[in-house]
């Protein structure tokens, strides 16, 4: 699973409608993540048939002090991060940080659909904020 996370300021429904109309992507999941301060919509791009899928994650800040709102104030709308799926986010984070790449969190946090997530610092990943995602037990996707 690989997908970009996009940030936007406009109405979530309006943005979803753009991707539905332009590309045929449908909403697979949506939720508000209070801890991260975002409203999000996961649009399924494709499905590999083996439990893997690709998604486009749309993020809208729900409060001015959220990390997404702060990032958008500095960078504007657009691509925020790229995410890679893994079977064990803690083990992969430990492996990568052991190679000198900083993680943003000391331990995984809750992500979309009950997933476990961590991020790699963009200054250590050639300017790209990179998310590591472990799907919830029995779940597919992010």
| CB distance 84 to 92 below 8 Å | no
Global pTM exceeds 0.85? no
Amino acid 55: pLDDT: 83
- pLDDT 10s digits, 39-80: 999 888 887 666 667 888 888 889 989 888 888 888 888 888
Amino acid 100: pLDDT: 96
Q: Could you tell me the CA-to-CA distances from 129 to 21, 26, 80 in Å, in that order? A: 28, 25, 7
End-to-end CA distance of the chain: 8
Looking up tokens 């649009």 gives 43
Beta partners for 39? 32, 60
| CB distance 100 to 54 below 8 Å | no
Q: Give 27's pLDDT tier (boundaries 50, 70, 90).
A: very high
Mean of pLDDT values over 88-97: 96
Which of 3-7, 51-55, 61-65, 136-140 has the least mean pLDDT?
A: 3-7
Mean of pLDDT values over 17-36: 90
Query: What is the SS3 assignment for 99?
Result: coil
Amino acid 142: pLDDT: 52
Q: Identify which has the larger pLDDT, 43 or 137.
A: 43
């Amino acid at each position: 699973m690989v997908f970009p996370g996009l940030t936007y300021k406009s109405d979530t429904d309006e943005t979803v409608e753009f991707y539905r109309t332009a590309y045929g992507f449908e909403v697979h999941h949506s939720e508000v993540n209070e801890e991260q301060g975002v409203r999000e919509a996961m649009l399924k791009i494709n499905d590999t048939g083996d439990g893997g899928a690709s998604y486009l994650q749309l993020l809208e800040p729900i409060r001015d002090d959220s990390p997404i709102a702060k990032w958008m104030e500095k960078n504007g709308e657009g691509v925020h991060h790229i995410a890679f799926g893994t079977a064990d986010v803690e083990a992969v984070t430990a492996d990568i940080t052991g190679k000198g790449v900083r993680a943003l969190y000391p331990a995984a946090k809750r992500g979309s659909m009950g997933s476990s997530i961590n991020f790699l610092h963009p200054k250590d990943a050639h300017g790209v904020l990179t998310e590591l995602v472990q799907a919830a037990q029995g779940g597919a996707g992010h």
